[in-house]
């Protein structure tokens, strides 16, 4: 099933939910979104439908097995059926979590998303990967379950904290390297709505071609293998970690042009921060290597697929052994410690 991605006004979201072809709605709304937008999302206006409302704890906290069980039991107790439809309103944490609930409850019901963070508008809400976290790592319990609709409303960005905006921009930066059209919009400082739509449509195109990530979809992991390690080591927001993950892969396997492009795009997109998280510190080779070897994207015990960019719009996956990565990090660690953008 292909997801319908559309732009909607804040005041029309409830109407869109009301038009869904079901008599039962499971509504999962991020705690922060509810505190900012409850007055704009008047559930009582959804006529002739039973609406079961579940407020999600703030952000990433919800992606755990206990909340998963709580939500599932709550919905089942209230009485639902196979034609019920789940609607998630929130950032990527809520869409990952709620999408996983939709994928599993009654062996799967249809669902739609209203992404409210920049990161979820350009990335997390698109493509049907849904998951919660395990004690052993992020997103290790999950499924593929395409949403029926993604309703994008950029007005939500008005209340998004700056640090979360910057994080979303890290993913936008990634898309700029994968697609020339998106690069061009970013460099020309096009309105954010245009950039969001271009990223969302680009991701949809790739995920439609390769739903289960056996081929072309893998390029969306640009910056992510190192990024996940940095996110964990330095406790960084996801998109910021992806940006530094790209910087790292470009520094050790890429070109000077990659780095110049990242600087130009970072300025055009107003992404703050010049110093990498490892700046002037001991470069954490061991921690990075340990994390890389746990990455669920590893396809063999001794190697990992990394995404490389020859030039804007020309990315490919290359297999690198852990030994090769460790050696190149050792060789470059002193230079990396001093490097700034
Ligand atoms: N499924 C995928 O393909 C995919 C892709 C990328 C990321 N993800 C997942 O997405 C999650 C990260 O998403 P995220 O960055 O949106 O984080 P998030 O959902 O945790 O949201 C970040 C913070 O912003 C708040 N927030 C969200 N929208 C807001 C708004 N409009 N106004 C005020 N506050 C708002 C949230 O409450 C939270 O505190 C991670 O769990 C990651 O694994 C999934
Ligand atoms: Zn990402």
**Domains by residue range for the chain, with CATH:** 4-158 (3.40.50.1970), 163-338 (1.20.1090.10)
Q: Regarding beta strands 24-30 and 50-56, do their DSSP bridges make them parallel or antiparallel, or are they unpaired?
A: parallel
For residue 171, how far is its CA from the centre of ligand 1 (angstroms)?
Answer: 12
Pairing relationship of beta strands 303-311 and 137-144 according to DSSP bridges: unpaired
The tens digit of pLDDT for each residue in 191-234 reads 999 999 999 999 999 998 876 777 778 899 999 999 999 999 99
DSSP β-bridge partners for residue 30: 56
Mutation test residue for ligand 1: of 35, 111, 120, the one with most atoms within 8 Å of CB: 120
For residue 334, give every residue at least 6 positions away whose Cβ sits within 8 Å of its Cβ, in sequence order, or none.
Answer: none
**Contacts of residue 28, Cβ cutoff 8 Å, sequence gap at least 6:** 54, 56, 71, 86, 87, 88, 89, 90, 94, 97, 98, 101
Place 137 in a pLDDT band, splitting at 50, 70 and 90: confident
* Whole-prediction pTM: 0.95
Q: Other CB atoms closer than 10 Å to residue 93's CB: what's the count?
A: 25
Which protein residues touch ligand 1 with a CB less than 6 Å away?
Answer: 30, 32-33, 36, 58-60, 63, 90-94, 96, 116-117, 119-120, 123-124, 127, 129, 138-139, 156, 159-160, 164, 167, 238
Atom of ligand 1 nearest to the CA of 168: 15
Nearest CA to ligand 1 atom 40: 93
In this structure, are residues 258 and 183 in contact, taking their beta carbons and an 8 Å threshold?
no
Q: What confidence score (pLDDT) does residue 204 get?
A: 95
Q: What sections of the chain are H helices per DSSP?
A: 13-18, 31-37, 65-78, 92-104, 118-119, 162-178, 180-187, 192-209, 224-234, 238-253, 256-268, 285-294, 322-338
Nearest CA to ligand 1 atom 41: 93
What is the rounded average pLDDT of the residues 176-203?
98
Test site for ligand 1: of 91, 150, 173, 232, most ligand atoms within 8 A of the Cβ: 91
Q: How many CA atoms lie within 13 A of 211 on its CB side?
A: 10
Confidence of residue 296 (pLDDT cuts 50, 70, 90): low
Ligand 1 atom nearest to CA at 96? 1
Q: What is the mean pLDDT of the chain?
A: 94
């Amino acid at each position: 099933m292909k997801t319908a991605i559309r732009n909607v006004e804040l005041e029309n979201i409830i109407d869109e939910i009301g038009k869904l072809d079901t008599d039962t709605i499971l509504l999962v709304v991020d705690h922060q979104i509810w505190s900012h937008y409850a007055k704009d999302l008047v559930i009582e206006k959804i006529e002739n439908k039973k609406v079961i409302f579940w407020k999600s704890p703030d952000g990433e906290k919800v992606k755990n097995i206990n909340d998963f069980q709580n939500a599932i039991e709550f919905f089942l107790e209230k009485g639902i059926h196979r034609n019920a439809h789940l609607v998630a309103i929130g950032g990527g944490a809520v869409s990952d979590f709620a999408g996983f609930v939709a994928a599993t409850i009654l062996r799967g019901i249809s669902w739609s998303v209203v992404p409210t963070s920049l990161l979820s508008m350009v990335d997390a809400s698109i493509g049907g990967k849904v998951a919660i976290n395990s004690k052993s790592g992020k997103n290790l319990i999950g499924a593929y379950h395409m949403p029926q609709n993604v309703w994008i409303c950029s007005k939500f960005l008005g209340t998004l904290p700056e640090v979360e905006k910057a994080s979303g921009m890290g993913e936008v930066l990634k898309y700029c390297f994968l697609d020339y059209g998106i690069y061009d919009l970013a460099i020309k400082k096009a309105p954010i709505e245009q950039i969001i739509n271009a990223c969302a449509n680009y991701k949809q195109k790739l995920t439609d071609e390769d739903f289960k990530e056996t081929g072309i979809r893998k390029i969306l992991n640009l910056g992510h293998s190192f990024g996940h390690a940095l996110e964990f080591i330095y406790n960084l927001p996801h998109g910021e970690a992806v940006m530094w993950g790209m910087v790292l892969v470009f520094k050790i396997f890429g070109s000077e042009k990659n780095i110049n492009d990242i600087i130009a795009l970072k300025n055009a997109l107003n992404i703050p921060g010049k110093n990498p998280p490892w700046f002037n510190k001991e470069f954490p080779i061991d921690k990075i290597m340990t994390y890389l070897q746990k990455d669920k994207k590893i396809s063999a015990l001794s190697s990992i697929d990394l995404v490389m960019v020859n030039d804007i719009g020309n990315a490919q996956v290359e297999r690198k052994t852990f030994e090769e990565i460790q050696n190149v990090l050792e060789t470059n660690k002193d230079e990396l410690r001093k490097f700034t953008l």
